[in-house]
Chain A
Amino acid sequence: MGMETMTLSSLTPGPVLGGIVFVTALLAPGILYRRKRKSVSSPAPFPRDVVILHQASRAPYAPSLSPFAIKLETYLRVAKIPYENVYDSKRGSKGKIPWIEYNGESVPDTEFCMQFLREKRSLDINEGLTPEQRAVARAFQKMVDEHTYWIMILFRWIYDETKEVINLAGWSILKVKIVTYMAGKQTRDQGVGRHTQEEVEAILDGDLTALSQYLGDKQYFFGDTPTEVDCAIFGQLSQLLWHLPNTAVPKILTEKHKNLVDYCERIKTNFWPDWNSCITHGDLKLK
């Protein structure tokens, strides 16, 4: 039985053109998406000593779909640093959001932003922490931002088939498909995506248990006033608690880690009294 071999000379123009159009259509969104990666200074003259916080638009049930944006904005509120939001898709110099501008300087990455502002404003909300507490803070911040975060991504993009929150945020079908594909690949490369959903739920519970155990019945992680790590933890927990409504996650929190739910409500009440005007409930006209 002979097998036909495909040679260059056997290709007809029609299918070749069709193939080029198909591949371009596949690649174009990714290329256009990447071209947005440029930090451009905001054109409007902003007042001195006011942080310009660049982030995506407000989200359905929490102020952002990004735990990092909530972390940074919560920090600005806790540290009482005046700021203004710019809701755009301009990315910082590392190609990510959120990022800030301050008196003409732009800074990407939430940890670098907090370090920058600590220096520029000579204000350290971690002041008073012992070296051991600072070590614990660092460990928990890394756990939630570099580990728990990826579990949230898995739930949002892979496990939650309804994608209710994403749909309420008004994302196009194409964008959702692209990001779902990328999220699958990224979580697999990072590691957590290689596990079964049951295994991932157990791993998530391990992180939440650690947070719950350390918090205990304290108001915040290190006592009665919030520090930087509270902003990071709140950022990640806000997504788990409020932006995964059709998954097992909110139930894991409310049934097994009540003190974390109370903690989130406390931060919401104390530092986001305007919470309801910072969420859209799915109304795309609100920002």
Chain B
Amino acid sequence: MVGRLQVGEGNEEALVTLYQIGRAPNSPSLTPFAIKLETYLRAANIPYKNDHSGKKSSKGKFPWISYKGKPVADSEFCIEFLNKERNIDLNSHLSEEQKGVGRALQKMVEENTYWVLVLDRWLYDKTNGVCIAFKIPSIMRWLPRRKFVGFAKKQGIGLHSKAEVEQILRKDVKAISGYLGSKKLLFGDKISQYDTAVFGQLAAMKYEPFGGMAGGVIDEFPVVCAYLDRIKTELWPDWEECNTGGGTRQATK
């Protein structure tokens, strides 16, 4: 699997600037989409530097990039843009059918599993881990909580009970486990673009569980845990420099 971080090397002008929201207590970001995008940059060997200043994208979200002066919003659009600019195709070893499956797995984790993460962090976690990580004072926490739980209700998943949501998560993770089987990565030994998306969502749950239930559900699936650990080891050897040690220090990267 390829993946050497090349921050600062080469021509400054050809460096991608990755705008994100700062390092998280035990993982590189509090948003799974930033973990996905940064994992992709590493897998594709694209030199980049981080900007944690909090500038939002044109669509009002994080993460986003700028490259040779051009800003691009939305993690998926960023990847498509860089694939074109730099002639990259992490899916070149996939058959058409596998690409179809990859797309479906990515949409499952980003449009379904993701909302479990939202509910887990903003509603189920009574330790208020995410609020503390975002430095939101206690009296203000009801505001983002109401906003995110409201989103989840409108999306649909927020209408279910906690037990039902846990079952929904279990089925999603079981699907990833079932598809992986005995393979190293989703489609064999080489990393694909879809692996970066799946890693982004599940790594956020596994390595930054706070006081919620999602991390425990991932732990029920050793195949998935080994898969996540594998990508973390290969592409994030500096993982500990990319988090704040549980909020005790500044991240060095």
B-binding residues in A (CB < 8 A): 94-96, 109, 112, 131-132, 134-136, 138-140, 142-143, 146-147, 185-186, 189-191, 194-195, 199, 206-207, 209-214, 216
Contacts and interface: CB of A to CB of B under 8 A. Distances in A.
Interface residues of B, number: 36
A138 B59 contact: no
B66 interface: no
Contacts of A94: 159-160
Given A135-B175, A185-B154, 19 more contacts: A94-B159, A94-B160, A95-B159, A96-B156, A96-B159, A132-B179, A135-B174, A138-B172, A139-B104, A139-B105, A139-B107, A142-B108, A143-B108, A143-B111, A189-B154, A194-B60, A206-B103, A213-B100, A214-B101
Contact of A139 (B97, B108, B154): B108
A209 B111 CA distance: 18
Contact of A146 (B107, B154, B159, B164): B107
A207 B111 CA distance: 13
Contacts of A138: 108, 171-172, 174-175
Contact of B176 (A135, A211, A213): A135
A62 B151 CA distance: 30
18 contacts: A134-B175, A135-B174, A136-B104, A136-B179, A140-B104, A142-B108, A143-B104, A143-B108, A143-B111, A146-B111, A147-B111, A189-B154, A194-B60, A194-B61, A210-B100, A210-B101, A210-B102, A210-B103
A195 B74 contact: yes
A16 B251 CA distance: 56
Contacts of B105: 139
A213 B97 CA distance: 5
B152 to A, nearest CB: 9
Contact of B99 (A135, A207, A213, A216): A213
B118 to A, nearest CB: 11
A139 B175 contact: yes
Nearest to A194: B59
B94 to A, nearest CB: 10
A124 B110 CA distance: 28
Contacts of B250: none
A135 B177 CA distance: 8
A117 to B, nearest CB: 17
B107 A207 contact: yes
B172 A132 contact: no
A147 B105 CA distance: 12
Contacts of B246: none
A95 B159 CA distance: 9
A194 B107 CA distance: 17
Interface string B138-181: 00000000000011001110011000100000011011111101
Interface in B39-75: 59-61, 74
A199 B61 CA distance: 16
A142 B109 CA distance: 9
A147 B156 CA distance: 12
Given A139-B175, A147-B107, A190 B155 contact: yes
A34 B80 CA distance: 41
A191 B111 CA distance: 9
Contact of A216 (B59, B97, B150, B160): B97
B112 interface: yes
A116 to B, nearest CB: 12
B90 to A, nearest CB: 16
A112 B160 CA distance: 11
A98 B24 CA distance: 41
Contacts of B175: 134-135, 138-139
B239 interface: no
